[in-house]
Amino acid sequence: MPGRDLIMCSPTGSVGVGDATTITMTISEPGKLKLSNLVLSAGFNTAVSASSANCIDQLNISSALINGAIELIRGRNTLAAPAGAFSAYRGIRSAIGLPDIHVQAGDTFAVTLGSESTNTGAINISMACAFSPDNVRESTPEPRGPSVYASSVVDQIAANTDGGSAAWTADESGILSLTSMQFRGYIDLAAAGAAAGDWADGTVYGEISAITLPSGNALVLGQGTPILNGTFFGAGQRSYSWFQGGAVRVSGGDQITYTINNTGPDAANFSWGARFYPDKFRGYDGCK
């Protein structure tokens, strides 16, 4: 069977007003880090008058450094490349072409993100990258043809609270596509008009600290407190090119669980879904 991608993540950092911050991904096991599929996230951590809580398109990236030695953001003088080029919503695979590199446990990859704004408050930032481990996790081939759609339960998590969870429980045996997973967050504002802007989209506030498969294997890797930001799987918006997670076989009653932190200023509702191929698929072009 072919291997499947896992996800190497950094902890969350914070960019202050008119400042720049470096976040570092520390590798937890040997393998290939697919920097061509690097994704970055940024979200205002307090309510401000902005069009959206998600603000990666507004930040700059001035450095992307392998093991403190090899710089991938190049040029003279003060650099400020658009960080949105690395958004999981970019949808353009050719927008970046960074190298895929073989790494060992303890190796680092660091990016420096900056904000020129003076009025928006602090911004939470994180990054993730597709990762092919040397210790291969096998993938079940994804079937061709139609599927149904697997849905987790919804979990409402209080403002600035860790440790929520949203689980999907298989109702019969079949194959779930990890590559197709999508995630959504919905802010439950404390009062009507409590925050200006498109704050109903709380996906950027959903920080996924773990995705646990029925086998007990984890998808989210990294040293420290690695975080997979919700926008990296943003429902209806994510770039499918960045993560090829393969598929897993499940039996009725098996669970796949997201552990979720809500970093937003209000309670939020989170859930996720993915393609599912039941072993006994029922046709819809007549009785079969």
The per-residue pLDDT for range 9-24, each reduced to its tens digit, is 999 999 988 899 999 9
Could you list the residue range(s) of the whole structural domain that residue 91 is in?
6-278
Distance, CA of 277 to CA of 147 (rounded, Å): 5
In a domain, 89, yes or no: yes
Q: How would residue 117 be classed by pLDDT, with cut points 50, 70 and 90?
A: confident
Is 284 within a domain?
no
3-state helix, strand and coil shares in percent for the chain, rounded to the nearest 5: 5, 45, 50
Q: Which residues contact 171 (CB under 8 A, 6 or more apart)?
A: 252
Q: What is the mean pLDDT of residues 97-123?
A: 91
| Tokens linked to 259 | 């552990």
Domain-embedded: residue 283: no
Question: What are the pLDDT digits (tens) for 200-212?
Answer: 578 999 999 999 9
| Confidence (pTM) | 0.90
Q: Please report whether residue 205 resides in a domain.
A: yes
Give residue 110's identity as a one-letter amino acid code. A
Would residue 144 count as lying in a domain? yes
**Within a domain: residue 266?**
yes
Number of domain units in the chain: 1
Residue 286 lies in a domain: no
Give per-residue burial for 85-123: e unless 16+ CB within 10 Å, then b. ebbbbbeeeeebebeeeebeeebbbbbbbbbebeebeeb
Q: Identify whether the C-beta of residue 236 lies closer than 8 Å to the C-beta of residue 132.
A: no
Six-digit token pair at 49? 């008058």
Determine, yes or no, domain membership for 254. Answer: yes
pLDDT for 256-269, tens place per residue? 999 999 988 888 89
- The more confident residue out of 200 and 5 is 5
What confidence category does residue 196 fall into, taking pLDDT thresholds of 50, 70 and 90?
A: very low
